[in-house]
């Protein structure tokens, strides 16, 4: 797997945490969906991206069990890695900007797969949830950490039987929550990942975070 870079997306300020992402730089070496799905399942990350055209930012996204038209942390990660002005997943064109240590994408919330956004009364309730909580369907559990400041504590549970019990940092859910609340958010998710969002013109949402390159797949890092 020498053509696969491993990134950590939505890191905390100290570089820790973040959601692991596999990026297959030469997507043309794996042209069919079956082989891509097999690689994503073998890697076992919440998502793996295949780069089909690095100059135009054309990409294809897979979880261990299915193909996605859009996903937040893979697009932030691959945008940082390719250093492009836009990335193009199947859902549509996603604009990119760099702002200091943060990489931002702008996307439509309706591109995000459905999630149940369940508000809890306190941060302690969110942190006490079992992994995964009982029930079916994709759950995004959140509570205000500081409502006036737009600070949110969240955890995410795919509950789809593909080996991902808890998703460390979920950009699509952050887009949906920002759209629902209609305000900028600073989200701490999982063990301590950081996602920042802001409403943009024409109903779009900006989503930003830090990205760290860990190295080729299979490295001890």
Asked if 191 and 168 count as a contact pair (C-beta separation under 8 A), the reply is yes
- 107 closest CA partner among 172, 48, 47: 172
Q: In the chain, which segments carry CATH 3.10.310.10?
A: 4-92+211-216, 111-207
pLDDT, one tens digit for every residue, the chain (221 residues): 558 999 999 999 999 999 999 999 999 999 999 999 999 999 999 999 999 999 999 999 999 999 999 999 999 999 999 999 999 999 999 999 999 999 999 999 999 999 999 999 999 999 999 999 999 999 999 999 999 999 999 999 999 988 899 999 999 999 999 999 999 999 999 999 999 999 999 999 999 999 999 998 865 44
Query: How confident is the model at residue 161, as a pLDDT?
Result: 86
Domain 4-92+211-216 coded CATH 3.10.310.10:
yes
Instruction: Give the integer Cα–Cα distance in Å for 138 and 48.
Output: 19
Instruction: Indicate the pTM of the whole model.
Output: 0.95
Query: How confident is the model at residue 2, as a pLDDT?
Result: 59
**Class for the domain spanning 111-207:** alpha beta
Question: In this structure, how many other beta carbons lie within 10 angstroms of the beta carbon of residue 220?
Answer: 5
Token pair of 194, please? Answer: 């950081």
Query: How confident is the model at residue 218, as a pLDDT?
Result: 66
Q: Please, what is the average pLDDT of the chain? A: 95
Query: How confident is the model at residue 220, as a pLDDT?
Result: 41
* Structure confidence by residue, pLDDT tens digits, 106-122: 999 999 999 999 999 99
Using CA of residue 10, residue 146, residue 198, residue 108, what is the dihedral sign?
positive
């Amino acid at each position: 797997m020498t053509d696969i870079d491993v990134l950590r997306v939505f890191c905390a300020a100290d570089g820790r945490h973040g959601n692991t992402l596999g990026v297959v730089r030469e997507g043309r070496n794996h042209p069919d969906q079956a082989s891509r799905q097999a690689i994503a399942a073998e890697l076992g990350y919440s998502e793996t991206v295949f780069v089909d055209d690095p100059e135009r930012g054309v990409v294809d996204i897979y979880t261990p069990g299915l193909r996605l038209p859009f996903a937040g942390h893979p697009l932030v990660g691959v945008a940082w890695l390719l250093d492009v002005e836009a990335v193009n997943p199947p859902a549509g064109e996603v604009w990119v900007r760099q702002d200091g240590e943060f990489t931002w994408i702008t996307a439509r919330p309706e591109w995000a797969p459905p999630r149940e956004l369940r508000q809890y009364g306190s941060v302690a309730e969110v942190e006490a949830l079992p992994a995964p909580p009982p029930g079916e369907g994709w759950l995004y559990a959140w509570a205000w950490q500081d409502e006036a400041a737009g600070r949110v504590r969240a955890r995410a549970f795919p509950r789809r039987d593909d080996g991902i019990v808890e998703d460390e940092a979920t950009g699509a859910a952050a887009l949906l929550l920002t759209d629902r609340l209609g305000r900028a958010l600073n989200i701490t998710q999982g063990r301590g990942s950081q996602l920042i969002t802001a409403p943009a013109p024409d109903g779009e949402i900006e989503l930003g975070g830090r990205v760290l390159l860990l190295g080729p797949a299979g490295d001890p890092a």
